[in-house]
Structures are given as structure tokens and as C-alpha cells.
Amino acid sequence: MSTYYVTTPIYYVNARPHLGHAYTTIIADTLKRFYSLLGTDARMLTGTDEHGDKIVKAAIKENKSPKEFVDGISAEYKALWQDLKIDYDQFIRTTDENHKKSVQALLQKIYDKGDIYFGEYGGHYCFGCERFYTEKELEDGLCPQHKTKPEYISEKNYFFKMSKYQDWLKQYILDNPDFIRPERYRNEVLAMLEGNVLEDLCISRPKSRLEWGIELPFDKDYVCYVWFDALANYISALGWGNEDNSQNFEKYWPASHLVAKDILKPHGIFWPTMLKAADLPIYQNLNVHGYWLVKDTKMSKSLGNVVDPRFAAEYFGLDAFRYFLLRDMHFGSDASYSEENLISRINSDLANDLGNLFSRVLSMNAKYFAKKVPSLGTLTADDENIFSCVQNAAQNYLQLFKEVRFSQGLDGLWEPIRLMNKYVDSQAPWTLYKEGNIERLGTVLRVLLENMYKIAVLLWPVMPDSSIKMQEQLGKKFTLHAKLIDDLLNCNVHLRTDFEISEASNLFPRFEKPVEEKKEEKVKKEKKSENKKDIVQETQLIEFADFQKLDLRVGTILTAEQHPDADKLLKFEVDLGEEKPRQIISGIAKFFNPTELIGQKVVVVANLPPRKLRGLESQGMILTAEKGEHLSLLSSVAPNGSKIA
């Protein structure tokens, strides 16, 4: 595939952007970057839909003209995409003059073919959907989308002979299994075609009722139906219908469309029959996703549960937010959004797995090889297994992303990340260093560094900024080129031996509690503080002999890393001046970045009996000082092994 053209729906500007809009647009941005990574000339389109009844009503409500109103809301979408770093190539508006010309050219072409006729129609019209419904389509007499009773309207209008293409569309869908995906939505469209005789589509509105729209080229008393107008944006953006600017249409069409499930019918039935009637190539794919739910309920302004994507991206980090959206929604199904889910995903996948891998490997390389990339020696079966696992995961990831199965692709890519963390533990670089086995130590770290680089490159479509930073930490500058992925998969060596790389990485900080939960706790604390009056806390007294029982020793932290099986625990090796370092497990992970603790002096309770914490033995306790929500390590300038008395 030499070119790839991905589109979002153009968003209706009767309301401001929310999480659902951001999700679709981030998916489109990810797909554009993904195909660019594969060496394809990729193009992305987004924009706003600005005609119709609802726009006029919303403008009146805000005491503005329709044009003033749409200019303001459209600008909000553009501003949000800028904040979310969306790399679109074109932002189209249905009020653009070039778009109007394309729509009129499409109408005229279908009209000249004889597939548009004038007639009278009476039907149930939903002003929220801006379309007529048949009796069969209503649910208990109500609009299936808005749950309101439509108004019965009888008027003369222009109609598109959509019914003429029912059998063709059904057969086209059957012959092209990937035309509508996931499969559940393909089956849903087939059910629409099999269960009902496809009716002709009313494509006009009389100016006596609505003037805010594109005028029909063959009748000045009518404007175009908003859906016919909106769907044409996908080709008008490429210059179709404008003879002087149609080269992009020849280059990039057909498109791969992204839509939410509530607009399946217009895109799955209206649009392909319109293209067929105009003798234009049919789009490549229709990719349909579900809803983001908040507490199992679809987001709604009236319910007050609309998620602000800008806040989530700013507070948690844009790349972490992008990762969560792609990882937690199985494309096509609904997904649940909450700050708890977002924090859990960030902490488990990004902080504990990917972040911990980069942090511990870079810090060990800095310690053992003075930040220089070590040589790759003879590979063992364990080493080969790492390369093989990354290779297989990468190939599956690439295939699954082509199938818009983002969650499964990322889940598979995380398998080698977790395996590499286990590989660190099993190979024990610190032991190899103590034993003087420097050649083997270098090979272990080089195996990790090379495969970390591969993972970093593959993650660029999902987390572009973090991917580039990870590559820079490994001494590589990210540059797109046609053979990038082929080179990545067909070669095991990408880093330069003896090249200096970063000594630390802290790209994915952990988060403690949801913002809302913190706010509630703050309010509770303030109320509790107000109610406290003359409360004296009594300190329990102990005998001096009890204190004498404690063996408090000064030590230096040699290594610090995340416990492999516990989010809250860190694993330390501490030099207490003894024959070998002590392994100490401490529940302070949420307060410290482990790499920043290496080399720090601490005070240890050295005479506690050993105990196992999540499978690892702890031979002492590091002392800390706590004030409010802040935690500090007790320290001393005394030599290692000094006893505090």
C-alpha cells in the first residue's frame, strides 16, 4: 500500500468536544502514524459538520447567527486537537466554499444520472437526528436515539433512489468481509438490508423551513440534507468536484473511515450507495467503535458525566492517556472510563512494566559500564528467547493494528516487556558484576537495550513523545524512513557499542489516587481539622532497655528496583559494612523513584528476624520519617556499619 487515507467523522458543532470525539481522533492519529511507520504516505482528515436544524436552534439559544456560532465551536475542536498534538493533514468545515462546490457537483452528477427525483413524503421527523423515521424504525413510537416522539411532517422534497442499490450493497458487503469491521457491525448492516426494504432517502429541506445549508444546484428553493452534505466531505477534502484541485483524490482515495456505532447506518448504507450512484470507487474500510461509558452510562451533558479529555491529558500525561484509550477499549465494544481505571493502567503497564524496565537497565548500565553501550557477546538460549519473543510480538502487533485491534496488539507487545523484567531477575547482573563476569554482564545488558529500542520504536504511533524520548535515552534519533520497520525486525543490532547513553529514565510516574477521590479526602481533612479542639495526642513511653534492643546501622543503598510482584514494594541491596550486602524489602514505592536512591546513605534496623514479603526475603528495615503526605529517608554521614546508639 503506497498511500493510506484515514478520516474521522466530521463532528457536529451543536455541542463542544468531549472524550468520545477525542478517542476517535486519537485513533485516527495513531493509524496515520502507524502507516507512516510502515513507510506509507499516510494522510489524515478531520473537521466539523456545520449545517442543519440543530445548529440554527443552538445559535438562537446563544443569541448568535449560525455562522458566528459554528465559527466558535469549530475553533474549539481545532484548539483541542492542537493540545492533544493531533497530526492531521486537513481540517475541513462544511461551510468551506470548496466543500460546497463538491457537494453540488455530487448532487448534480447523481441527479443527471436519474437517481434523484422530486416527490411528496410524509414521515416521522426527529429534529435531534435531522432525519425521517419509518414506523418500523421507531421504538414504542419514539426516536431510538433520543427517546423523544418525532414530529409528523408532510412536505415535497427531493429523494435519492437508495433502494435501487440495496441488492448491490448487500452483495458487496458479503464479497468484502473487511469492508465493515468489526464483524458485529457488518452483520448489523446486513440485518438492516435483509430485514427491511431499503427506502429512498430524502436529501433536501425546503428553504421555507430551513435556509442554513448548501443550496441544491438544480433547485434554488431547497438546501441539501445535512447527512448528504456531511458524508461528501471525505471526497471534497481531496478536491473531488473541483477540477483545479483533484490530484489528491486520485492519489489517496479510497479512504479508511473511523466512526462511532451511533452513525453506522449513514456510513454503512447512505454513503456507499451515494458513491455507487456517482460511479465513484467505494471506500476501503468502515471501522466502527463503541461508546466510552461513565459508571455504565453513556456520557451526557444533562447527566453531568462528560469527561474533559484536555484535563485527563494534562494531569496524567498525554501519552499515558493515549495508551489507556487504546489499551482499555476493545475496538468495537463499549468501555468504561474512570480515573481509577486510568491510574491502574498507568501504574501497572507504564510505571511497573515499561518504566521500571528502562529505569533499572539504564541505571545498571551506568553503574557497570559508565553509561557506555556494552558489546554483544555469545548468546545463550535465554538471550535468544528474548529476541524471539520481541520478534513474534512485534509481528503480531503490526498485524493486529492493521485489523484495528489495538488493545490486543498492545497486550501482546507487553509480553516481552514483562519477560525482560523477569530476565533481569534471572540473569542477576549485580551477581555477574560481583563475580567479575563482565563479558556475560555486558551481553545481558546489550540484549535488554537492543530489545528495549525495538519496543520504543513500535510504540511511536501510540505514545509518540515517550517513544522518541525512550529512543533518545538509548542514543538513537527517531527518523521515519521507508525501511525502518524492515530493518527493525530483520536485524538484532541497532545501538552503537561504546556509545554513551542515558543513566536514568523516569518517563512514567506512578499515580496514587483519582483526582476526585483526593478532593473528597481534602474536604474531609479540612472538616476534621475544624472540629479538632484541644486534642492532645499522648505518646506511648518505653523503657531505655527496649531502645537498647534495637541494632541501628548506617548503610549505603547499592541497588534499588521495583519488587517484581508488588506495586507498593521496592527491593534494595544495602551495604552495612558486612561481608555481603543485605536484601531489604520496603513498602515505600509510591514515594520514591528507585534509581534516585542508589548511593544514598540510610539507617537500617539490622536485628529484625528475616521475613518474606511477596516471595522475597527482607533482612532488615530502612527507617523513614513521615510528615503529612511526605516521606523522607533517615540518613547519616557515618561510615557503613556504624551503630547508632
What is the tens place of the pLDDT at every residue in 399-410?
A: 999 999 999 999
pLDDT at 642: 84
What is the tens place of the pLDDT at every residue in 78-92?
A: 999 999 999 999 999
Give yes or no for a contact between 448 and 473, defined as CB atoms under 8 angstroms apart. Answer: no
Q: Kindly report the CA angle at 535 between 529 and 538, in degrees rounded to 5?
A: 125
pLDDT at 533: 43
Residue 289 has pLDDT above 80, yes or no: yes
pLDDT at 304: 67
Mean pLDDT, the chain, whole residue set: 90
CB half-sphere exposure, 310, CA atoms < 13 A: 11
Higher-pLDDT residue of 229 and 536 is 229
Give yes or no for a contact between 309 and 448, defined as CB atoms under 8 angstroms apart. Answer: no
Give yes or no for a contact between 504 and 362, defined as CB atoms under 8 angstroms apart. Answer: yes
What is the tens place of the pLDDT at every residue in 558-574?
A: 888 888 878 788 999 99
Residue 10 has pLDDT above 70, yes or no: yes
pLDDT-wise least confident of 130-134, 363-367, 405-409, 549-553: 130-134
Residue 577 has pLDDT above 70, yes or no: yes
pLDDT at 225: 94
| pLDDT band, residue 32 (cuts 50/70/90) | very high
DSSP letter at 266? I
DSSP 340-402: HHHHHHIIIIIIIIIIHHHHHHHHHHHHHHTTBPPP-----HHHHHHHHHHHHHHHHHHHHHH
373-391 mean pLDDT: 97
46-75 mean pLDDT: 93
Give yes or no for a contact between 600 and 556, defined as CB atoms under 8 angstroms apart. Answer: yes
Residue 539 has pLDDT above 50, yes or no: no
Residue 129 has pLDDT above 60, yes or no: yes
Q: Kindly report the CA angle at 612 between 606 and 617, in degrees rounded to 5?
A: 60
93-108 mean pLDDT: 96
pLDDT-wise least confident of 221-225, 432-436, 590-594, 604-608: 590-594
The residues annotated with a catalytic role in the active site are 18, 21, 126, 129, 143, 146, 298, 301
Residue 610 has pLDDT above 60, yes or no: yes
What percent of the chain shows pLDDT beyond 70?
93
| pLDDT band, residue 514 (cuts 50/70/90) | low
pLDDT-wise least confident of 112-116, 420-424, 524-528, 617-621: 524-528
pLDDT at 538: 43
What percent of the chain shows pLDDT beyond 90?
70
